[in-house]
């Protein structure tokens, strides 16, 4: 691939819109070394290597105490050598070397000095903005609940990630009803974390009429003038054939002893009712959903049934006035989803999510989508980052893979170099504007 280096260098000049992050307004950067070294994908690497803790650190709206962060770093140190091969650790090295001028291995003797170096930048907002400028990232989309006081509205746009009616939780069968209860009568807030405990709710959904009232409340309090999308997850374990009202009533009576069948009825009925209401606002919002990451005790595993893809196609077809956008965690499902996006005008694909964010998989998905989909049906960057440092690492990794994919297509005569760079600009910058309504901040 003789053109890869030339293309990668040129890609640095192509502006980028990051279509999904978990950045926090006013606190865009790492609060300490833990926000870099113990990003959840690295925690999974460490757990794989034998580290005792597989759970994430305390998450927003809380923050890890210094004691929690330091204890977890010390616990991880003996396992760092075992994960030096992973692409997530490549990301850690990119961050430390290029943003913190640190190229030494992290050891018991030096990690506190490195932690201090990161903490010095924790509230340096001009530096955080400079990192995004260096990347040529013109805007990112973050969770609405993490907006803060709007300090970084010029850098962030927002997605409402709140009710997760169709996301399974480990060992639960009434999650859809509980999540609807949790949102009923309340203003938008953060979603339930994976594996979280269930705090009491203000209201209880007892009837089908309650379901519809709660859904109408949810749709009515979406701040359409402040968010560009609403984001959720579709679990592959759920049967999305639409239940009748009678089936929903009967299933609700059985809630105390609910099992998989009741779970499916609750989720499918609520999903369809929600989409029907949201479609009335289809000119104001995009419905984003993730797919192919199913719960395990700490994180998720990548799996997806073909039947789910069929049912999603039917669901998207039933709501032609609502724009759907999917990010998927199963490489094998990408080709099937591309075929749906080719034939469903209101369906598009974005990024390389979670279990797909590994270089070889990224290249496979990029190449397949570029061959199968028009540029205005795909978006090229989705960092899922919690701090700007990980936006930096993930964009560096994505640019390197995109350069290789484009160079291969240039080598075989499919594109010219100019074509390749024009296509890159389309999927990284123009498509997020057209499909999602992102508005780039011009860098002066």
Helix locations, 148-197, DSSP H: 175-183
Instruction: Identify whether residues 107 and 160 lie together within a single domain.
Output: no
Please state the rounded mean pLDDT for residues 84-109: 98
- Are residues 297 and 162 both part of a single domain? yes
Side-chain-side CA neighbours of residue 444 (13 Å): 0
Last residue of a domain, one of 76, 94, 121: 121
* Residue 305 in tokens: 């049934």
Has residue 17 been placed in a domain? no
Cα 325-328-334 angle, rounded to 5 deg? 95
Whether 387 and 246 share a structural domain = yes
Residue 284 lies in a domain: yes
Q: What is the DSSP letter of 106?
A: P
Q: How far is CA 435 from CA 131, 144, 162, 354, 418, in A?
A: 26, 19, 21, 22, 24
Assess whether 102 and 155 both reside in one domain: no
Same domain, residue pair 107 and 138: no
CA angle 73, 74, 76 (to 5 degrees): 65
Angle at 93 between CA 87 and CA 98, to 5 degrees: 130
Shared-domain flag, residues 98 and 228: no
Q: Is residue 21 in a domain?
A: no
The 10s digit of each residue's pLDDT in 217-242 is 999 999 999 999 999 999 999 999 99
Distances (CA, A) of 352 to 28, 166, 190, 290, 359: 22, 21, 23, 11, 10
Q: Are residues 71 and 159 in the same domain?
A: no
Domain count, the chain: 2
- Residue 3, pLDDT score: 83
Same domain, 113 and 132: no
> Are 370 and 228 found together in one domain?
yes
Please say which residue of 89, 121, 153 terminates a domain.
121
Mean pLDDT of the chain, nearest integer: 96
Task: Write the pLDDT tens digit of every residue in 196-217.
Answer: 678 899 999 999 999 999 999 9
Q: What percent of the chain is predicted at pLDDT more than 90?
A: 93
Q: Which residues pair with 16 in a beta bridge?
A: 137
Joined tokens for residue 226: 């402040």
Residues 74 and 208 in one domain: no
Given this model, what pLDDT does residue 297 score? 85
348 in a structural domain: yes
* Beta-carbon contacts of residue 443 (< 8 Å; ≥ 6 apart): 133, 136, 138
CA triplet 434, 435, 440: central angle to 5 degrees? Answer: 55
The answer as to whether 441 is a domain residue is: no
Does 2 fall in a domain? no
Of 75, 105, 121, which residue sits at a domain end? Answer: 121
Strand partners, 424: none
Q: What are the tens digits of pLDDT across the range 275-312? A: 999 999 999 999 999 999 998 888 999 999 999 999 99
193: pLDDT confidence band, cut at 50, 70 and 90? confident
For the segment 175-180, the average pLDDT, to the nearest whole number, is: 96
The residue count for the chain:
444
Residue 6 located in a structural domain: no
Same domain assignment for residues 158 and 111: no
Q: Is residue 330 part of a domain?
A: yes
Residues 206 and 227 in one domain: yes
The pTM score is 0.95
Residue 383 belongs to domain with CATH number? 3.20.20.140
Q: Which residue range(s) make up the domain with 41?
A: 30-121
Q: Are 294 and 322 in contact (CB under 8 A)?
A: no
């Amino acid at each position: 691939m003789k053109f890869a280096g030339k293309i990668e260098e040129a890609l640095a000049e192509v502006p980028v819109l990051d279509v999904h992050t978990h950045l926090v307004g006013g606190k865009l950067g790492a609060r300490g070394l833990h926000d870099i070294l113990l990003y959840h994908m690295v925690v999974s690497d460490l757990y794989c290597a034998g580290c005792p803790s597989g759970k994430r650190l305390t998450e927003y709206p809380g923050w890890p105490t210094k004691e929690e962060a330091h204890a977890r770093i010390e616990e991880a140190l003996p396992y760092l050598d075992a994960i030096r091969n992973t692409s997530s650790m490549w990301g850690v090295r990119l961050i430390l070397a290029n943003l913190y001028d640190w190229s030494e291995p992290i050891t018991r003797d030096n990690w506190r000095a490195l932690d201090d170096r990161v903490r010095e930048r924790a509230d340096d907002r001009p530096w955080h903005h400079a990192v995004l400028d260096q990347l040529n990232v013109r805007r990112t989309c973050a969770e609405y609940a993490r907006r803060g006081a709007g300090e970084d509205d010029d850098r962030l746009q927002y997605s409402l990630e709140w009710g997760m009616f169709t996301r399974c939780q480990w060992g639960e069968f009434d999650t859809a009803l509980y999540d609807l209860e949790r949102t009923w009568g309340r203003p938008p807030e953060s979603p339930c974390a994976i594996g979280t405990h269930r705090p009491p709710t203000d209201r209880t959904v007892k009837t089908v009429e309650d379901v519809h009232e709660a859904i109408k409340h949810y749709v009515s309090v979406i701040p359409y003038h402040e968010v560009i999308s609403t984001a959720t997850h579709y679990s592959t374990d759920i049967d999305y054939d639409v239940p009748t009202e009678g089936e929903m009533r009967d299933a609700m009576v059985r809630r105390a002893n609910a099992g998989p069948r009741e779970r499916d009825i609750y989720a499918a009925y609520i999903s369809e009712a929600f989409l029907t209401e949201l479609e009335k606002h289809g000119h104001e919002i995009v419905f984003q959903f993730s797919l192919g990451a199913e719960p395990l005790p700490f994180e998720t595993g990548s799996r997806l049934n073909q039947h789910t893809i069929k049912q999603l196609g039917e669901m998207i077809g039933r709501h032609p006035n609502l724009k759907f956008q999917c990010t998927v965690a199963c490489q094998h499902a990408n080709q099937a989803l591309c075929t749906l996006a080719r034939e469903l005008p209101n369906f598009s694909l974005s990024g390389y999510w979670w279990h797909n964010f590994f270089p070889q998989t990224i290249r496979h998905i990029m190449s397949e989508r570029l061959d199968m989909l028009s540029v205005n049906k795909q978006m090229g960057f989705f960092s899922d980052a919690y701090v700007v440092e990980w936006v930096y690492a993930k964009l560096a990794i994505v640019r390197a893979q995109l350069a290789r994919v484009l160079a291969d297509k240039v080598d075989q005569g499919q594109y010219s170099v100019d074509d390749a760079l024009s296509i890159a600009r389309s999927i990284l910058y123009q498509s997020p504007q057209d499909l999602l309504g992102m508005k780039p901040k011009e860098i002066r």
